[in-house]
Amino acid sequence: MGPKLSRTVTYAIAATLQLAKSGSDAPVPCNQIAAEGKMPERFLLQILRSLVNAGILKSTRGVVGGYALNKPPEEISLLEIMEAVEGPYESQIVDQEEGLLSGNASLRGALKDLAETSKRQLHSIRLSQLALPPKEEEKET
């Protein structure tokens, strides 16, 4: 079983994916993103602010205000979204196990390697790939 995504990360990915799929530069209000994604609006607002602070989203104030992608979906990685809301990826894995690892340098090293590998993979997955409809499986004849 792979690493479990927190609710914060799940909502951050869902919200940015929703904006990528909309294909519009027009700002989308938080309440609309929340309703479409079945996410609590107040919690989502904090997440959207983190994504704005990280430069992933831009926010527009006013009556027609809301949120939009700040750059093309092919320039936004899954890693970038995760780190925007939860901080550096390595520490998320290694710090959780700090107590268990204090006396085991080889286990700590193995977990660091694992974190590095998964970090590279998460960096290579782009929002644009996730926004595409899934390819139909080729039927064997």
What pTM, to 2 d.p., does this model score?
0.80
50-90 per-position pLDDT tens digit: 999 999 999 999 888 999 999 999 999 999 999 999 988 76
Tell me if 137 is assigned to some domain: no
- d(CA 18, CA 69) in angstroms, rounded, equals 10
Q: How far apart are CA 26 and CA 12, in angstroms?
A: 19
- Give the structural domain span for 127: 7-131
Whole-angstrom distance, CA of residue 45 vs CA of residue 40: 9
Q: How far apart are CA 130 and CA 52, in angstroms?
A: 20
Domain membership flag for residue 30: yes
Q: Is residue 92 part of a domain?
A: yes
Look at residue 58 and give its three-state secondary structure.
strand
CA distance 134 to 93: 30
pLDDT digits (tens, 9 = 90+) for 42-58: 999 999 999 999 999 99
Query: What pLDDT, on a 0 to 100 scale, did the predictor assign at position 1?
Result: 39
Residue 36's domain is classified under what CATH number?
1.10.10.10
Question: Is residue 77 a part of any domain in this protein?
Answer: yes
The pLDDT tens digits for 18-30 are 999 987 889 999 9
Q: Which amino acid is at 81?
A: I
**Per the domain annotation, does 27 fall within a domain?**
yes
What is the total count of domains within the chain?
1
Return the percentage of the chain with pLDDT > 90, whole number: 57
